[in-house]
C-alpha cells in the first residue's frame, strides 16, 4: 500500500535538516568567525580611541607616551640584560643570531612600531565604552584605602585578569588561533615574549578593568606599569632560573618553560598560566614546578603554525607573513585541541 506523504511532516524534516547543516557549518567555521568578530570589535574600539584622543588634541602625544611606556628604553634595557644573561647561563645552548632569535626580535620591533599604538587606541576605546555603557561598575574613591594600597590592589587585579585571559586563549578555539603563534617557538628566548599576533592583544582587554574600576582611588604610576611589563618578559628567558623559594610566589623562567612544553606534562594539559604571580595557578590546581631536570622541548606538536625552523633562511619572511595571516583563514591547522 502506498504511503501518502504528509506536507507538514516533510516541511519539518527539511527544516530540521537545514538546522543541522547550519549547526555543522557554524561548528566548522566557529573559530574563523570568532577571529573576525574579535577583529571587528578591535577596529571599533580603535575608531573610538582615535576620535577620543583627537578630540582632546592629544592623539600623537598619547601614542608616543604609551609607546615609550610599553616598549621604551627601560624595557629594551631589561630585554638586553636578560639576553646577555642567556648568553652566560643558557638553559639550552643556542647561537646569538639563531633564526628564532632574529624572528622574535622582529616581533619586538613590530610591537614597538605597530602593536603598541594599536593597543593604545583599542584600550582607549574600550575604556570609553565601559564608561559609557557600564559606568555603574566604576567605583568612586575609597577614602579608607591608601593610594599605595589601591595601586597594589590594581596591579594584583591586572595580573589576575591576565591569568584569566591567558586561560581563555587556551580554552577558546578562536583565541587559540591567535595564541598558537606564541606557543610555536621551539627556541625560546626573552624575545619570545613579543612573538604574539597583534590581534591577540585585544583578547587581554579585560586586564584594564581593575584600572577602570579602582583608578579613582589611586592612579597607577607609569613606572609601576613599566616594572610590571619588565617582570612579564623575564619568564620567557632561556634560563634555568627557578628563583628558589621565591619561585613559589613569582613566575620564573624554569616555571614558565613548562607552560610552553611541546607535549602535555600530565592529564591536566597546559599548566602554569601565570604572568607574574604563581598564586592563580596554585588556586586553580594548574601549577607544575620545575624539578631540576634537563629543560623540556618547547613548541607545538605537529607544527600547526608555520615556523622558521622548518624552511630555508630565504623563506623566513614568507613564514612570518603566513604566521600573521593564518588566524584569518577559513580553515586553519590550529583548529584543534590547545
Q: Give domain limits for the chain.
A: 33-328
pLDDT tens digits for range 184-199:
999 999 999 999 999 9
The Cα 167–Cα 145 span in angstroms is 31
Question: C-alpha distances in angstroms, 126 versus 49, 113, 207, 294?
Answer: 8, 21, 11, 43
pLDDT at 143 over 80: no
pLDDT score at 144 = 62
Residue that the C-alpha cell 594584583 belongs to: 156
Residue 134: pLDDT band (50, 70, 90) is confident
Q: What string of DSSP letters covers 53-67?
A: HHHTT-HHHHHHHHH
Tell me the backbone φ, ψ of residue 261, rounded to 5 degrees: -55, 135
> What digits encode the pLDDT tens for the residues 250-263?
999 999 999 999 99
- Rounded Cα gap, residues 166 and 260, in angstroms: 13
Taking the C-alpha atoms of residue 242 and residue 250, their distance in angstroms, rounded to an integer, is 9
* Whether residue 9 has pLDDT greater than 80: no
Q: State yes or no: pLDDT of 41 exceeds 90.
A: yes
Whose CA is closest to 155, among 245, 275, 73?
275
pTM assigned to the model: 0.89
Cβ-based neighbour number of residue 2 at 10 Å:
4
Integer Cα distance of 121 and 62 in angstroms: 9
CA 158 to chain centre: 13
How big is the chain by its Cα radius of gyration, in Å?
A: 23
Q: Give the range among 17-26, 121-130, 132-141 with minimum mean pLDDT.
A: 17-26
**Residue 20, pLDDT above cutoff 80:** no
Calpha distance 308→296 (Å, rounded): 20
**Mean pLDDT value across residues 131-148:** 76
Residue 122 has pLDDT above 80, yes or no: yes
Question: Rounded to an integer, what distance in angstroms lies between the CA atom of residue 164 and that of residue 204?
Answer: 9
Q: Strand pairing partners for 298?
A: 261
DSSP alpha helix (H) spans, 56-146: 59-71, 73-88, 99-110, 116-133
* Cα 287 to Cα 161: distance, rounded to the nearest angstrom: 17
The CB-based long-range contact list for 59-65 (8 Å cut-off, 24+ gap) reads 62/120, 62/124, 63/116, 63/117, 63/120, 63/121
pLDDT score for 334: 94
Amino acid at each position: 500500500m502506498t504511503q501518502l506523504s504528509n506536507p507538514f511532516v516533510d516541511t519539518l524534516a527539511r527544516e530540521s535538516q537545514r538546522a543541522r547543516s547550519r549547526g555543522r557549518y557554524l561548528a566548522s567555521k566557529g573559530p574563523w568567525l570568532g577571529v573576525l568578530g574579535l577583529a571587528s570589535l578591535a577596529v571599533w574600539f580603535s575608531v573610538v580611541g582615535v576620535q577620543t584622543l583627537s578630540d582632546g588634541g592629544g592623539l600623537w602625544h598619547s601614542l608616543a607616551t604609551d609607546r615609550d611606556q610599553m616598549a621604551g628604553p627601560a624595557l629594551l634595557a631589561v630585554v638586553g640584560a636578560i639576553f646577555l644573561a642567556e648568553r652566560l647561563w643558557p638553559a639550552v645552548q643556542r647561537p646569538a643570531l639563531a633564526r628564532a632569535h632574529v624572528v622574535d626580535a622582529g616581533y619586538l620591533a613590530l610591537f614597538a612600531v605597530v602593536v603598541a599604538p594599536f593597543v593604545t587606541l583599542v584600550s582607549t576605546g574600550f575604556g570609553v565604552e565601559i564608561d559609557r555603557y557600564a559606568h555603574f561598575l566604576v567605583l568612586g574613591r575609597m577614602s579608607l584605602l591608601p593610594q599605595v594600597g589601591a595601586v597594589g590592589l590594581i596591579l594584583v587585579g591586572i595580573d589576575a585578569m591576565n591569568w584569566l585571559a591567558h586561560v581563555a586563549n587556551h580554552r577558546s578555539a578562536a583565541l587559540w588561533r591567535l595564541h598558537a603563534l606564541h606557543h610555536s617557538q621551539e627556541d625560546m628566548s626573552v624575545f619570545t615574549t613579543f612573538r604574539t599576533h597583534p590581534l591577540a592583544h585585544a583578547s587581554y582587554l579585560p586586564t584594564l578593568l581593575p584600572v577602570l574600576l579602582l583608578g579613582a582611588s589611586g592612579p597607577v604610576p607609569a613606572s609601576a606599569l613599566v616594572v610590571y611589563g619588565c617582570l612579564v618578559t623575564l619568564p620567557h628567558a632561556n634560563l634555568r632560573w627557578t628563583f628558589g623559594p621565591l619561585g613559589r610566589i613569582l613566575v620564573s623562567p624554569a616555571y614558565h618553560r613548562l607552560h610552553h612544553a611541546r607535549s602535555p606534562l600530565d592529564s591536566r594539559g597546559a599548566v602554569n598560566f601565570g604572568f607574574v604571580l604563581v598564586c592563580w595557578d596554585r588556586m586553580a590546581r594548574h601549577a607544575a614546578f620545575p624539578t631540576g631536570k634537563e629543560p623540556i622541548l618547547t613548541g607545538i606538536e605537529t607544527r600547526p603554525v608555520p615556523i622558521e625552523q622548518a624552511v630555508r633562511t630565504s623563506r623566513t619572511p614568507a613564514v612570518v607573513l603566513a604566521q600573521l595571516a593564518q588566524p584569518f583563514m577559513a580553515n586553519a591547522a590550529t583548529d584543534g585541541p590547545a
